[in-house]
Structure formats: C-alpha cells, structure tokens
Structure 1
Amino acid sequence: MYVCLCKGITERQLKAAVAEGNTEFRDLKQELGVGAQCGKCIPVALAILAEENAKAQLYYEVA
C-alpha cells in the first residue's frame, strides 16, 4: 500500500526502514522523505512507526 503519494513511499519501505534502525519519525523523514511535501501521510506513517516499534519492543522483551 502506498503511504506517501507525493514521494511514492510504500508501507513495506517504511517497515524496512524501521527494521534498519530508523525508529523516530525524523529518521524516516530524513531517510525516505515521508511527510516532506503535503503532510497527509504523516498520521499513517506515525501509526506504522508505532506498530513496528511496539513489535520490536515485544521481541526484545521475550528474547
């Protein structure tokens, strides 16, 4: 699914960027450019970021 139409950024790209260590929104904005133009993608990008960070936190708590 496309999250950012302005930059052509997909949900898969966002998840991969978070997995690579971009755990803050500013990191994603710098790495991918998400939210840099119209800003309509920011709420969805933040939700994906929170979900991926929560998954990582659970993984580290269990491991």
Structure 2
Amino acid sequence: MIVCVCNAIREDEVRQAAREGASCTRSVYRAIGRKPRCGQCLPFAKEIIAAEHATA
C-alpha cells in the first residue's frame, strides 16, 4: 500500500525503517532519503510506526 503519494513511499518501507530504529516520521523519512511534502501521509505513517514498535 502507498503511504505517501508525493514521495511514492510504500507501507513496507515505513515498517522496515521503524524496525531499523526510526521512532518518528522525521526519522523514517530521513532513513528512506526523502522529505514530507504535503503532510497528508504523516498520521498514517505515525500509526504504522507505532504498530511496528508495539510488536517489537
């Protein structure tokens, strides 16, 4: 599933970054090598990060 349309970031990329230690959306985007643009994806990305940390 696409999380960020502006940057074409997929859910699995966000999950992988969270598993590798990214703790917030800023660190996830940095790990992927991109920056948020419109910001519409940030709430969904936060949910994914939280879910990954909850299962870790």
Q: Calculate the TM-score normalised by the size of structure 2.
A: 0.85
2:17 aligned with 1:3, yes or no? Answer: no
State the distance in 2 between where 1:5 and 1:26 align.
Answer: 16
Between the aligned partners of 1:11 and 1:21, the Cα distance in structure 2 is 16
Structure number with higher helix proportion: 1
Whole-angstrom distance in 2 between the partners of 1:45 and 1:54:
14
Instruction: Give me the identity figure in percent.
Output: 36
Q: Please report the RMSD computed on the Cα atoms of aligned residues, expressed in angstroms.
A: 1.3
How far did residue 52 of structure 1 move?
0.6
Alignment pair present for 1:29 and 2:29: yes
TM-score, normalization by structure 1: 0.77
Q: Are positions 1:38 and 2:43 aligned together?
A: no
Larger RCO (CA under 8 A, 6+ residues apart): 2
Segments of structure 2 that go 5 or more residues without pairing to the other structure are none
| Structure 1 residues not aligned, in runs of 5+ | 57-63
